[in-house]
Structure 1
Amino acid sequence: MNFILAGHGNIAVEMKNSIEMIAGKYPNVKAITFELGDGVETLKDKYLKIINQSTEQSFIIITDIFSGSPYNAAAMLAMQLGNIEVISGLSLPLCLALLHLDYSSINFEEAFEQLNDIKSDFIKSFKKISKDIAEEEEF
Structure 2
Amino acid sequence: MKGIILTSHGTYASGLYQTVKMIAGDFPNIKIVEFHEGDNLENFDQKLIEAYNDLTYKDIVVITDLAGGTPFNRSVMSLADKGNVAFLSGANFAMVYQALSSEIEDLSEFVADVLEKGKSSITKFDMEEDDEESLEDGI
Q: Please tell me the TM-score bracket, short chain as reference.
A: 0.7 to 0.9
Runs of 5+ consecutive residues of structure 2 not aligned to the other structure: 132-139
Give the equivalent residue in structure 2 for 1:98.
Answer: 99
Letter in 2 for 1:123: I
Give the equivalent residue in structure 2 for 1:5.
Answer: 6
Task: Give the Å deviation of 1:7.
Answer: 0.4
Paired residue secondary structure (1:76)? helix
- Count of residue correspondences: 130
Asked if the contact 2:95/2:115 (under 8 Å) is kept, the reply is no
Q: Deviations over 1:29-63 (max 9, x none)?
A: 11112111124423211111112233324211100
Task: Give the Å deviation of 1:123.
Answer: 0.9
Paired residue secondary structure (1:87)? strand
What is the alpha-carbon distance in structure 2 between the residues aligned to residue 88 and residue 54 of structure 1? 20
Indicate the RMSD between aligned Cα atoms, in angstroms.
2.0
What is the alpha-carbon distance in structure 2 between the residues aligned to residue 32 and residue 115 of structure 1? 20
Give the equivalent residue in structure 2 for 1:107.
Answer: 106
Task: Give the Å deviation of 1:116.
Answer: 4.6
Q: Does 2:84 align with 1:83?
A: yes
Asked if the contact 2:49/2:79 (under 8 Å) is kept, the reply is no
Task: Give the Å deviation of 1:20.
Answer: 0.7
Q: Which of the pair has the greater relative contact order for Cα pairs under 8 Å at 6+ separation?
A: 2
Give the equivalent residue in structure 1 for 2:62.
Answer: 61
What is the alpha-carbon distance in structure 1 between the residues aligned to residue 128 and residue 70 of structure 2? 40
Please report the TM-score for the alignment, with normalisation by the length of structure 1: 0.82
Q: 1:84 to 1:40 in 2, by over 3 A?
A: farther
Identify the structure with the greater helix proportion.
Answer: 1
Q: Could you list the structure 1 runs, at least 4 aligned residues long, displaced by more than 6 angstroms after superposition.
A: none
Paired residue secondary structure (1:33)? strand
What is the alpha-carbon distance in structure 1 between the residues aligned to residue 56 and residue 81 of structure 2? 19
Give the equivalent residue in structure 2 for 1:122.
Answer: 121
Asked if the contact 2:14/2:32 (under 8 Å) is kept, the reply is yes
Runs of 5+ consecutive residues of structure 1 not aligned to the other structure: 135-139
Q: Deviations over 1:13-40 (max 9, x none)?
A: 1111111111101011111121111244
Q: 1:117 to 1:50 in 2, by over 3 A?
A: closer
What is the alpha-carbon distance in structure 1 between the residues aligned to residue 4 and residue 43 of structure 2? 19
Task: Give the Å deviation of 1:114.
Answer: 2.3
Paired residue secondary structure (2:9)? coil
Asked if the contact 1:40/1:72 (under 8 Å) is kept, the reply is no
